[in-house]
Structure 1
Amino acid sequence: MPKLPLLLLCLLAPACLAQKPHPCKSPPLLTGALVVSTQNEKLWVYANYMYDAIGRRIRLKEFGVSDNKTFSLEVLLLFREAAMYTIDTEKRKCTKQPLKADFQPMEIPKDAHLVGQAVLGSSSAPGQGLLVNTWQGELPNNTGSYIGTVTEFGCIPVSSAYHTSSGWMVTSFFNNVIGILDPDQLNPPDFCQQAEEPAADGGEPADFFSLFAKRHRGGPAARLPQPPGANFKK
C-alpha cells in the first residue's frame, strides 16, 4: 500500500488542524484607533493611539463625550521619564506633570483562561473572516474581572471588557497597523521644552483613561481599567 503524502496525513489528523491557543504578547510597536465606553461614568471616547513597548511610550489623541459634554485631548506618556505631556498643537502650548503609573505591555497573561475561539465575519470563504481567541481572568488585587479578545495570528488586540465595582468598561480596537509611521510623534514637540507644570490638585494620572476622566469630570482621577493586557498582570 503506497504511503500517503505527509500533507494528506495532516489534513486527516485532527491534531494537525486544531492547536490549542496560548497566551501571547502583542507586537511592541502598534498604531491604530480605539473606542471606549463605560457603564456608569457616561463616558464615550474615540482615540487614535501610538504604542511603543520598546521605548515605553504612548501617544493618544482623543475625542469624546463625558456627562453629555464633548471634549478633545492629546497626551504623550513617557513612562521611562515618569512624565506626561498634555499637548495643544494648534496653540503650540504644552503642560507637563508626573506620571506615576507603571508601564504594562499589551499581552494576555499566562494565568488567563481561554474562553473560546471564534471567527469574526464569515468562515465560508478565505478572506471573509478573522480568527480570534477570547480570554478571561481576574484583575490584580481582586479589583474585578476582564475578558480580552486578540487575533489568533499576531496577537493583535480586538476588544476588551472589564467589570469592577464601578461597572463595565468596553474597548474596541480597529485599524491596527504594526509599526510606528512617524516615530517623532512619540517625542515631545519642540514647544514642550519649557512646558509648564499645572498646580497640584490632589490627583495624579493613573492609567490611559483616567487622564481625561480627571480633566473632564473634575476632581481626582478615576482608576479606570486599560486596554487588553495593559492592566492584567498581577
Structure 2
Amino acid sequence: MIRVALLLAFVAVCWAQVPQPCDSPKQWEGRRVMTDQTKKFQEIAKYTYDAVNRRTRAIEEVQRGTERDYYDVLHLYNEDKEYRLNLKTKTCNVTKPSHPFFETRVPPGSKFLFEAEAGAAQVPGEHLTVQNWDITFDDGAKYAIAVTSPDCVPIFAAYYSKDVGFLIENFFDIHAGISDPAVFIPPSECMGL
C-alpha cells in the first residue's frame, strides 16, 4: 500500500512539472518580421498588438519578389475594418480584414515540445529560457510558438494551413503595454472613407 501511495505521489510531482500553456501579454509593442518563402514575401514591421480590444497596427516594409512597398495597416477587428495606407502614394483602402483576429499566445490544448536556453546559458542577464509549443487545430491548421519563460512573451510563431500557406513570424524588441493609445486612430488620409 505504501508503494502505491509513493508511486502516485511521484506521478503527481512529475505531472506538476510539465509546463502548462501560458498567457502572453495582452498588449505590447515591438518589431515583427513575417515571411512566406513560397510566395517570396517578407514583411518587416513596427507592430502594436492589443488582444484586449482585438486590434493591431503595423508600419510595414513589404517585399514581394523584387518589389518593395511601405504600408500603415490598422486592423480594428471589433469594427470589422482594415485600414491600409500606402505610404508612397498616400492612397488609403478601407476593407474588411482578410483574416480573423488571432491571438499571439500559447493556445489552450497546445503540446509542450521542449525548453531551451537562448544566449549564454547560466550567465545572469545574458540568456533567457524559451518554451516551444505546437498544436493542430480542428480544421487541420498547424501552429507552433516559442515564448519566453516565465513571462510568456512571444519570440517566434509558425502557422500552416491549406488556405494561407506557411507563415513564419519572428518578434523582437517587445515592450509590455501600449505607449500611445492614439496609435489605433485611423490615419488622417483614411478619415471619411
Query: Does residue 158 of structure 2 align to residue 161 of structure 1?
Result: yes
Q: 1:131 aligns with which of 129, 132, 145?
A: 129
With over 3 angstroms needed to count, the CA separation of the structure-2 counterparts of 1:107 and 1:121, relative to structure 1, is same
Residue 98 of structure 1 deviates from its aligned partner by 2.4
Quick one: distance in 2 between partners of 1:90 and 1:184? 22
Give distance in 1, aligned partners of 2:34 and 2:98. Answer: 22
| Structure 2 Cα separation of the partners of residues 170 and 26 of structure 1 | 18
Distance, in Å, in 2 between the alignment partners of 1:88 and 1:65 is 13
Taking only aligned residues, the RMSD between alpha carbons, in angstroms, comes to: 2.3
Query: Would the aligned equivalents of 1:82 and 1:100 in 2 still touch at CA under 8 Å?
Result: no
| Distance (Å, rounded) in 2 between the aligned partners of 1:163 and 1:91 | 33
2:63 is aligned with what amino acid?
V
| Pair 1:47–1:192, CA change in 2 (3 A) | same
Aligned to 1:65: 63
Preserved contact between residue 69 and residue 88 of structure 2 (Cα < 8 Å): no
How many Å separate the matches in 1 of 2:90 and 2:166?
A: 36
Correspondence for 1:85: 83
> For 1:162 and 1:44, how far apart are their aligned partners in 2?
15
CA distance in 2, matches of 1:138, 1:179: 30
For 1:42, the aligned partner's letter is: K
Change (3 A) 1:161 1:99: closer
1:64–1:70: 8 Å Cα contact kept in structure 2?
yes
- Structure 2: which 5+ residue stretches go unaligned? 1-12
Q: CA deviation at 1:100?
A: 6.2
Shift of 1:90: 7.5
Contact 2:70 2:86 in 1 (8 A): no
Quote the offset at 1:177 in angstroms: 0.4
Contact 1:32 1:48 in 2 (8 A): yes
Aligned equivalent of 1:26: 24
2:128, 2:31 → 1: CA distance?
18
Identity across the alignment (%): 29
Residue 134 of structure 1 and its aligned partner are, at CA, apart by 0.1
**Inter-partner Cα distance in structure 2 for 1:155 and 1:76:** 25
Q: Residue type matched to 1:155 in 2? A: C
1:113 alignment partner in structure 2: 111
State the alpha-carbon separation in 1 of the partners of residues 156 and 169 from structure 2: 5
Please report the TM-score for the alignment, with normalisation by the length of structure 1.
Answer: 0.68
Which of residues 162, 168, 178 is equivalent to 1:170?
168
Structure 1, 160-169 or 127-136: larger mean CA deviation:
160-169
Offset of 1:29 from its aligned partner? Answer: 0.8
Paired residues in the alignment total 178
Give the residue type in structure 1 aligned to 2:159. Answer: Y
CA distance in 1, matches of 2:93, 2:165: 32
Cα separation, partners in 2 of 1:157 and 1:82, compared to 1, 3 Å? same
Name the SS of the counterpart of 1:51 in structure 2. Answer: strand
SS of structure 2 residue aligned to 1:141: coil
